[in-house]
A and B are shown apart, each in its own frame.
Chain A
């Protein structure tokens, strides 16, 4: 198995840029995916294949990848973006792993 490591928390003021990292050796070979989860709700996909944005996700959400580190960037963070964010990856052996999650605070 493998691990994905995220910072426990990130804090920004409204309108600032928030960056959440996810690191792991598997990320040099497999794509990363990002989910947003608000309290009491199911997760929602916000970035797939490192940097692709699903329809309906605001343009302020973007993703990038460099070696074993992927980054979720929220440009001009808004109060509604306050949530937990999880990275995830998987491989053809059927191993699926999540990062530990990052709590984003916007205040």
Chain B
């Protein structure tokens, strides 16, 4: 079955760190650009970060730039998000998502269910 499964969320204190993982199955991760998208409780979807297929290019939302790092291990078919200097406003469900292949069209054709990160003292 083609799927993405995010894990690694939990409760962390403000200023703390957490690393999320996203395991891909049923397809080869190295063929795709991958993203993280978050959703605060009761709120909408917000794009967080994107990495190209070989890991040589990364982009971030302004709200996480300098604090979050996206990475991938294609050999393990896994995407990561290292989150440092966490703030209360980072509390959200974090989804990993696969970017549809092709040029000129930018959208997600597969999503993982997400993992909840709670930043609180």
Contact = CB atoms under 8 A, between A and B. Distances in A.
Interface of A: 1, 30-31, 33, 35, 37, 41-45, 48-49, 54, 84, 86, 88-91, 94, 96-101
Interface of B: 35, 37, 44-47, 50, 59, 62, 95, 100, 105-109, 111-114
B47 A42 contact: no
A48 to B, nearest CB: 6
Contact of B109 (A31, A45, A90): A45
A94 B59 contact: yes
Given A42-B111, A44-B111, A31 B105 contact: yes
A88 B35 CA distance: 14
Contact of A86 (B35, B44, B105): B44
Contacts of B50: 94, 96
Closest 5 CB pairs of A and B: A90-B106, A42-B111, A33-B107, A96-B47, A101-B44
B107 A45 contact: yes
Nearest to B96: A42
B121 to A, nearest CB: 27
Contacts of B108: 33, 35, 43, 45, 88
A90 to B, nearest CB: 4
